[in-house]
Amino acid sequence: KQQQPCPVDKEELGVGTWKLLHTMAAYYPDDPSALHRVQARRFFDALGLLYPCDHCAADFREDMGKTPPRVESREALSTWLCERHNEVNEKLGKKPFKCTMRALDERWLKGDSSCWHG
Ligand code: FAD
């Protein structure tokens, strides 16, 4: 009998969510409209409420309370998000990511020549 796909666990959910968030930040406008800014703030507020891991969401809300989303540009949002992810990395004993635009764009926007299969 073929096995059903399983619901995601905390790790798979985290990896998938960070993929969406960092990619969204990488494509965020350099000079966002008022609408983009408002909705980006709302998006992260909603994520802090709805993220389906209670203790992760609670810590994320607390962290955002101290350091609210920086929605004024692509660079600001990408760097802010990288720092938030590093807070989680630190809590879990993982290595920090270097939050420069060069490193972030390499990871989340451009990749290298092996990425797009021509
Ligand atoms: P991930 O941490 O998921 O990272 C995926 C990829 O992102 C990495 O391979 C790397 O290339 C890149 N990356 C790593 N750090 C950065 C960075 N700072 N900036 C940009 N790119 C980066 N798990 C818990 O156990 N407890 C929690 O409290 C918790 N809170 C979370 C809160 C949020 C908002 C999210 C989205 C996830 C949370 N998680 C939490 C899940 C956790 O962060 C990881 O996703 C999970 O442990 C899997 O880790 P990983 O090592 O496979 O890679």
Hey, whose CA ends up nearest to atom 8 of ligand 1? Answer: 15
Domains of the chain from N-terminus onward: 10-109 (1.20.120.310)
Q: Which residue has the higher pLDDT, 72 or 116?
A: 72
Q: At 25, is the pLDDT very low, low, confident or very high (cuts 50, 70, 90)? A: very high
pTM listed for this prediction: 0.97
105 CA from centroid of ligand 1 (Å)? 17
User: In the prediction, which pLDDT does 117 show?
Assistant: 66
Question: What is d(CA 48, CA 6) in angstroms, rounded to the nearest whole number?
Answer: 25
Distance in Å, CA 10 to ligand 1 centroid: 10
Atom 13 in ligand 1: which residue has the minimum CA distance?
97
What ipTM does the predicted assembly reach? 0.99
Taking only the tens place, the pLDDT of each residue in 93-112 is 999 999 999 999 999 999 88
CB 18 within 8 A of CB 47: no
Q: Whose CA is nearest to atom 15 of ligand 1?
A: 97
